[in-house]
């Protein structure tokens, strides 16, 4: 039986249409999913949308729509965007699906039977945008540290999860690496959270209307984060399809942004331990990016729509442009006005031009290569050692260096100055084609369409220059 690889992205809030932040994590997950498939593994790739809670309901109101209609419209936009980005997900999960509700009900009841829940009173400063409570010390100028809005003091009867009871066990698995948290900086941050004193958290809400019912106590809704995390198991049939669940779970990798690390690295493992389920093997939290030094926000008007990028640059170039900006584990800044320049330099003049030049030379020599193309996976292996660490920019640098090398060799050899049937010219073109094929194999997870086009071109009965892979963008 082949090895399985279960990879997830966060499920995204549908209070608005998707932006390049959502695209960033999802493209990264897709690259990894494709890379695992190329190695013959059985991949389950889950992404989707988080559709309950006040924030979503309030947005629907703002747009003058029924909540269900609103979430349907926006969930569709996410799905279409991911399709536009050539994301090969296996399941697109929506928390408004009845299957999700069914699994969540079973999981919550299991938590209750295990004695992990109790009734209490919650009092705190609530931010409706974060869907989260804050304590005084978290505030920034007396306001929500994330949204900078004034917070209301709320008191309500809630059900709580005995987080404190499970903290030592969670800390232990993080420390001994049974639950791998990466990168190292994030792991340190998480271990730091244990020292700050974490409290039991409430798993239900009284005042929320748009949510899943808490079957144990009528009138209470399940806190949106608590059910959202369960999408990782509801999507594969928790409590409903035991066979599929056991085949997929535990997740091999939860890929998230660092903003939601506490929920994933502490709350989620604690809930799973309480319910007697296995823990995910690894959680990787990537960095956050700003746009020209500022937070991406509607108010600032600097939100970039990934669909617009696909229209302008094409799907593969968009994937490349987003993942090549800065190391995955770090924060970075995106300067959209640099995209044209980067596209021209690395794709139009780089890979695209190299492929055209070599193909044209072969075309001039009759369109046929000397021999059958030999395959080599050396470059793929080199690539893989970067991808294993989720070093996307390092992997991209490997392929860019390879393109530069081949460009240099071409410049030195100058096959165009030789006769079309010159033996050295034909040998050189044979070798260059094999190198291009090796590059093609390595870049497939990043640039799947381009990779296929190049492979077709060089294995066609007659090789021709054809159309450019990446037409230059003129200023």
Which residues are known to be catalytic?
A: 19, 22, 127, 130, 144, 147, 295, 298
Of 130 and 217, nearer to ligand MSP (C-beta) is 130
| Residue 332, Cβ density class (10 Å: 0-12 exposed, 13-18 middle, ≥19 buried) | middle
Which residue from 229, 198, 218, 216 is spatially nearest to 131, judged by alpha carbons? 229
Q: How far apart are CA 434 and CA 154, in angstroms?
A: 66
In this structure, are residues 399 and 383 in contact, taking their beta carbons and an 8 Å threshold? yes
**Smallest distance, ligand MSP to C-beta of residue 253, A:** 13
Q: Residue count at the site for ligand MSP (CB under 6 A)?
A: 19
User: With CB under 6 A as the contact rule, which of the stretches 34-42, 189-197, 223-231, 421-429 interacts with ligand MSP?
Assistant: 223-231
Which member of 21, 128, 237, 269 binds ligand MSP (CB under 6 A)? 21
Alpha-carbon 259 to chain mean position: 14
Q: Show the tokens assigned to 49.
A: 């949308």
State yes or no: residue 30 binds ligand MSP (CB under 6 A).
no
State yes or no: residue 392 binds ligand MSP (CB under 6 A).
no
| Residue 445, Cβ density class (10 Å: 0-12 exposed, 13-18 middle, ≥19 buried) | buried
Residue nearest to ligand MSP (CB): 21
Which member of 31, 67, 256, 403 binds ligand MSP (CB under 6 A)? 256
State yes or no: residue 451 binds ligand MSP (CB under 6 A).
no
- Tell me how many degrees the CA angle 202-166-235 measures, rounded to the nearest 5: 65
Which residue from 212, 240, 237, 225 is spatially nearest to 163, judged by alpha carbons? 225
User: With CB under 6 A as the contact rule, which of the stretches 185-193, 224-232, 404-412, 461-469 interacts with ligand MSP?
Assistant: 224-232
State yes or no: residue 334 binds ligand MSP (CB under 6 A).
no
The reply to whether omega before 183 is within 30° of 0 (cis) is yes
State yes or no: residue 303 binds ligand MSP (CB under 6 A).
no
Which member of 7, 22, 27, 439 binds ligand MSP (CB under 6 A)? 22
Please enumerate in sequence order all residues whose Cβ is within 8 A of that of 12, keeping only pairs 6 or more positions apart, or say none.
18, 22, 48, 49, 50, 78
Q: What pairs with residue 157 in β-bridges? A: 121
3-state helix, strand, coil in the chain (%, to 5): 50, 15, 35
Which x/- pattern over 37-66 shows residues binding ligand MSP (rule: CB under 6 A)?
-------------x----------------
Q: How far apart are CA 324 and CA 125, in angstroms?
A: 39
Residues of span 1-20 touching ligand MSP by CB under 6 A: 10-13
User: With CB under 6 A as the contact rule, which of the stretches 132-140, 171-179, 227-235, 453-461 interacts with ligand MSP?
Assistant: 227-235
Which member of 35, 78, 289, 399 binds ligand MSP (CB under 6 A)? 289
State yes or no: residue 326 binds ligand MSP (CB under 6 A).
no
Q: What's the DSSP call for residue 344?
A: I
**Smallest distance, ligand MSP to C-beta of residue 12, A:** 4
Q: How far apart are CA 115 and CA 111, in angstroms?
A: 7
Chain residues in the site for ligand MSP (CB under 6 A) = 10-13, 21-22, 24-25, 50, 228-229, 231, 256-257, 259-260, 288-289, 296
């Amino acid at each position: 039986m082949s090895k399985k690889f279960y990879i997830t992205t966060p499920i995204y809030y549908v209070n608005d249409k998707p932006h390049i932040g959502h695209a960033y994590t999802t493209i990264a997950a897709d690259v990894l999913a494709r890379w695992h498939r190329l190695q013959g593994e059985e991949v389950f790739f889950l992404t989707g949308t988080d559709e309950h809670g006040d924030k979503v309901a309030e947005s629907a109101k703002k747009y003058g729509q029924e909540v269900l209609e609103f979430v349907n419209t926006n969930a569709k936009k996410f799905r279409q965007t991911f399709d536009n980005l050539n994301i090969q997900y296996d399941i697109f999960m929506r928390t408004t699906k009845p299957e999700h509700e069914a699994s969540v009900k079973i999981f919550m009841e299991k938590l209750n039977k295990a004695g992990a829940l109790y009734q209490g009173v919650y009092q705190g400063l609530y931010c409706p945008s974060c869907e989260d409570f804050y304590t005084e010390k978290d505030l920034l100028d007396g306001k929500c540290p994330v949204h900078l809005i004034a917070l209301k003091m709320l008191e309500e009867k809630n059900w709580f999860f005995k987080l404190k009871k499970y903290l030592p066990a969670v800390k232990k698995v993080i420390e001994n690496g049974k639950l791998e948290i990466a990168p190292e900086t994030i792991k340190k941050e998480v271990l730091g959270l244990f020292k700050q004193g974490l409290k039991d958290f409430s798993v239900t809400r009284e005042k929320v209307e748009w949510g899943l019912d808490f079957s144990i106590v009528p009138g209470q809704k399940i806190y949106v984060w608590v059910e959202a995390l369960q999408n990782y198991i509801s999507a594969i049939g928790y409590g409903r399809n035991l066979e599929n669940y056991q085949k997929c779970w535990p997740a091999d990798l939860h890929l998230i942004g660092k903003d939601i690390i506490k929920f994933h690295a502490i709350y989620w493992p604690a809930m799973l331990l309480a319910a007697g389920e296995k823990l995910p093997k690894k959680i990787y939290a990537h960095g956050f990016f700003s746009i020209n030094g500022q937070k991406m926000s509607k108010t600032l008007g600097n939100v970039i729509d990934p669909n617009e990028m696909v229209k302008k640059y094409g799907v593969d170039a968009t994937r490349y442009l987003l993942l090549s900006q800065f190391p995955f584990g770090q924060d970075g800044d995106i300067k959209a006005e640099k995209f044209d320049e980067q596209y021209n330099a690395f794709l139009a003049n780089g890979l695209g031009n190299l492929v055209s030049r070599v193909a044209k030379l072969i075309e001039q020599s009759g369109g046929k290569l000397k021999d059958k193309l030999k395959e080599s996976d050396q470059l793929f292996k080199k690539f893989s050692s970067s991808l294993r660490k989720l070093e996307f920019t390092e992997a991209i640098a490997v392929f860019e260096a390879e393109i530069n090398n081949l460009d240099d060799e071409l410049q030195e050899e100058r096959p165009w100055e030789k006769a079309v049937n010159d033996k050295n010219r034909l040998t050189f073109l044979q070798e260059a084609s094999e190198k291009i094929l090796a590059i093609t194999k390595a870049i497939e997870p990043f640039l799947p369409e381009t990779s296929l086009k190049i492979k077709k071109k060089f294995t066609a009965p007659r090789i021709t220059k054809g159309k450019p892979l990446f037409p230059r963008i003129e200023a």
